[in-house]
Amino acid sequence: NSKSVKRFAFLFEQCILICKKGEHSSLEIQHLLDFESYEVVERFDPPGGGKFSFGWSMKQRLDLLAPAYNIMVKTSDQAAVWMAKLEEGYSLLCNPSHHKTPHSFKLKDFNTYTRCSVCGELLSGIFAQGLACSVCQLACHRLCKLGMVDCKRSKNSHSKQGSRQ
Protein backbone atom coordinates (compact mmCIF):
# COMPACT_ATOMS: atom_id res chain seq x y z
CA ASN A 1 0.00 0.00 0.00
CA SER A 2 1.77 3.14 -1.21
CA LYS A 3 -0.95 5.60 -0.15
CA SER A 4 0.54 8.63 1.62
CA VAL A 5 -1.01 9.37 5.01
CA LYS A 6 -0.33 12.49 7.10
CA ARG A 7 1.37 11.58 10.39
CA PHE A 8 3.56 13.41 12.88
CA ALA A 9 7.05 12.14 13.75
CA PHE A 10 8.80 12.85 17.04
CA LEU A 11 12.49 12.05 17.40
CA PHE A 12 13.78 10.84 20.76
CA GLU A 13 17.25 9.63 21.76
CA GLN A 14 16.86 6.12 20.34
CA CYS A 15 13.47 5.98 18.65
CA ILE A 16 10.94 7.84 16.53
CA LEU A 17 7.27 7.96 17.49
CA ILE A 18 4.79 8.14 14.62
CA CYS A 19 1.49 9.73 15.68
CA LYS A 20 -1.79 10.66 14.00
CA LYS A 21 -4.36 13.25 14.95
CA GLY A 22 -7.12 11.76 17.04
CA GLU A 23 -10.35 13.18 18.34
CA HIS A 24 -10.31 16.76 19.65
CA SER A 25 -6.88 17.43 18.06
CA SER A 26 -5.09 15.01 20.37
CA LEU A 27 -2.25 12.87 19.03
CA GLU A 28 -2.38 9.08 19.14
CA ILE A 29 0.76 6.97 18.90
CA GLN A 30 0.60 4.71 15.84
CA HIS A 31 4.12 3.25 15.61
CA LEU A 32 7.40 3.22 17.47
CA LEU A 33 10.51 2.97 15.30
CA ASP A 34 13.26 2.00 17.72
CA PHE A 35 16.82 2.20 16.45
CA GLU A 36 17.58 -1.41 17.39
CA SER A 37 14.84 -2.67 15.04
CA TYR A 38 14.78 -0.03 12.28
CA GLU A 39 17.45 1.50 10.08
CA VAL A 40 17.60 4.32 7.54
CA VAL A 41 17.72 2.58 4.17
CA GLU A 42 17.68 5.52 1.77
CA ARG A 43 17.40 9.28 1.50
CA PHE A 44 15.42 10.82 -1.32
CA ASP A 45 14.13 14.04 -2.80
CA PRO A 46 10.76 13.15 -4.33
CA PRO A 47 10.21 14.22 -7.93
CA GLY A 48 7.82 17.10 -8.44
CA GLY A 49 8.76 18.96 -5.27
CA GLY A 50 5.76 19.92 -3.19
CA LYS A 51 5.48 21.15 0.37
CA PHE A 52 7.42 18.22 1.86
CA SER A 53 10.25 17.72 -0.61
CA PHE A 54 12.94 15.88 1.37
CA GLY A 55 12.85 12.57 3.18
CA TRP A 56 14.19 9.15 3.99
CA SER A 57 12.92 5.61 4.47
CA MET A 58 13.20 3.52 7.62
CA LYS A 59 12.86 -0.25 7.35
CA GLN A 60 12.81 -3.08 9.85
CA ARG A 61 16.15 -4.83 10.03
CA LEU A 62 14.83 -8.40 10.41
CA ASP A 63 11.48 -8.38 8.59
CA LEU A 64 12.38 -7.58 5.00
CA LEU A 65 8.76 -7.90 3.88
CA ALA A 66 7.48 -5.27 6.33
CA PRO A 67 6.68 -1.92 4.70
CA ALA A 68 9.17 0.93 5.01
CA TYR A 69 8.19 4.18 6.69
CA ASN A 70 8.86 7.27 4.56
CA ILE A 71 9.46 10.35 6.67
CA MET A 72 9.23 13.71 4.90
CA VAL A 73 10.32 17.22 5.88
CA LYS A 74 9.97 20.60 4.17
CA THR A 75 13.58 21.68 3.66
CA SER A 76 17.03 20.20 3.07
CA ASP A 77 18.18 21.92 6.30
CA GLN A 78 15.48 20.07 8.28
CA ALA A 79 16.51 16.80 6.63
CA ALA A 80 20.17 17.46 7.56
CA VAL A 81 19.24 18.11 11.22
CA TRP A 82 17.15 14.93 11.38
CA MET A 83 19.96 12.90 9.78
CA ALA A 84 22.53 14.29 12.25
CA LYS A 85 20.27 13.44 15.20
CA LEU A 86 19.54 9.97 13.82
CA GLU A 87 23.28 9.33 13.40
CA GLU A 88 23.84 10.55 16.97
CA GLY A 89 21.18 8.15 18.28
CA TYR A 90 22.57 5.22 16.30
CA SER A 91 26.13 5.96 17.46
CA LEU A 92 25.04 5.96 21.11
CA LEU A 93 23.29 2.65 20.61
CA CYS A 94 25.72 0.86 18.35
CA ASN A 95 29.16 1.73 19.75
CA PRO A 96 30.24 -1.14 21.99
CA SER A 97 31.77 -0.22 25.31
CA HIS A 98 35.55 -0.04 25.20
CA HIS A 99 35.76 -0.03 28.99
CA LYS A 100 37.02 -2.91 31.08
CA THR A 101 34.65 -1.66 33.78
CA PRO A 102 31.68 -0.13 31.92
CA HIS A 103 29.44 2.49 33.48
CA SER A 104 25.77 1.95 34.22
CA PHE A 105 24.41 5.18 32.72
CA LYS A 106 20.87 6.47 33.24
CA LEU A 107 19.32 9.75 32.09
CA LYS A 108 19.19 12.09 35.08
CA ASP A 109 17.56 15.35 36.14
CA PHE A 110 20.28 17.38 37.88
CA ASN A 111 18.93 19.79 40.52
CA THR A 112 22.20 21.72 40.87
CA TYR A 113 24.76 23.04 38.39
CA THR A 114 26.71 19.99 37.26
CA ARG A 115 29.69 19.79 34.93
CA CYS A 116 30.40 17.00 32.46
CA SER A 117 33.18 14.72 33.71
CA VAL A 118 34.58 14.46 30.16
CA CYS A 119 34.47 17.95 28.58
CA GLY A 120 33.98 20.09 31.70
CA GLU A 121 31.03 22.03 30.23
CA LEU A 122 27.81 22.53 32.20
CA LEU A 123 25.01 20.02 31.70
CA SER A 124 22.27 22.37 30.54
CA GLY A 125 18.52 22.11 30.19
CA ILE A 126 15.43 21.91 32.34
CA PHE A 127 15.28 18.12 32.73
CA ALA A 128 17.27 15.05 31.65
CA GLN A 129 20.34 17.23 31.14
CA GLY A 130 22.74 14.32 30.93
CA LEU A 131 23.74 10.85 32.03
CA ALA A 132 24.90 9.72 35.47
CA CYS A 133 26.49 6.40 36.35
CA SER A 134 24.39 4.70 39.03
CA VAL A 135 27.55 3.08 40.43
CA CYS A 136 30.24 5.80 40.57
CA GLN A 137 27.96 8.87 40.14
CA LEU A 138 30.07 10.47 37.36
CA ALA A 139 27.98 12.69 35.06
CA CYS A 140 28.39 13.52 31.38
CA HIS A 141 26.65 14.70 28.22
CA ARG A 142 25.07 11.98 26.07
CA LEU A 143 27.69 12.42 23.34
CA CYS A 144 30.57 12.60 25.82
CA LYS A 145 29.84 9.16 27.27
CA LEU A 146 32.04 7.56 24.62
CA GLY A 147 35.03 9.47 26.02
CA MET A 148 34.40 8.52 29.65
CA VAL A 149 37.10 6.69 31.62
CA ASP A 150 36.42 3.28 33.21
CA CYS A 151 33.87 3.19 36.00
CA LYS A 152 35.42 3.51 39.44
CA ARG A 153 33.30 1.11 41.44
CA SER A 154 32.23 2.45 44.82
CA LYS A 155 34.90 2.64 47.51
CA ASN A 156 32.80 0.26 49.60
CA SER A 157 33.10 -2.52 47.00
CA HIS A 158 36.93 -2.13 46.93
CA SER A 159 37.26 -2.15 50.73
CA LYS A 160 35.07 -5.25 51.01
CA GLN A 161 37.31 -7.08 48.54
CA GLY A 162 40.41 -6.01 50.47
CA SER A 163 39.03 -7.27 53.80
CA ARG A 164 38.43 -10.75 52.37
CA GLN A 165 42.07 -11.28 51.45
Residue 59: predicted pLDDT: 92
Q: Percent of the chain, pLDDT > 90?
A: 5
Sheet with 15-21, edge to edge strand ranges: 8-11, 15-21, 27-34
> CB–CB of 29/15 below 8 Å?
no
Q: For residue 101, give Cα distances in angstroms to 135, 145, 148, 151.
A: 11, 14, 11, 5
d(CA 81, CA 86): 9
Q: How many CA atoms lie within 13 A of 158 on its CB side?
A: 7
Instruction: List, for residues 89-111, the tens digit of each pLDDT value.
Output: 777 665 555 556 677 888 888 88
Report CA-CA distances (Å) from 79 to 76, 122, 144, 156.
5, 29, 24, 49
- CB proximity list for 79: less than 8 A, separation 6 or greater: 43, 54, 55, 56, 73
Q: How many CB atoms lie within 10 A of CB 129?
A: 20
pTM score above 0.85: no
Phi, psi dihedral angles at 12 (to 5 degrees): -115, -175
For residues 61 and 39, is the Cβ–Cβ distance under 8 A?
yes
Question: Which segments in the chain show pLDDT lower than 50?
Answer: 1, 155-165
Q: Which of 143, 149, 36, 152 is nearest to 98 (CA)?
A: 149
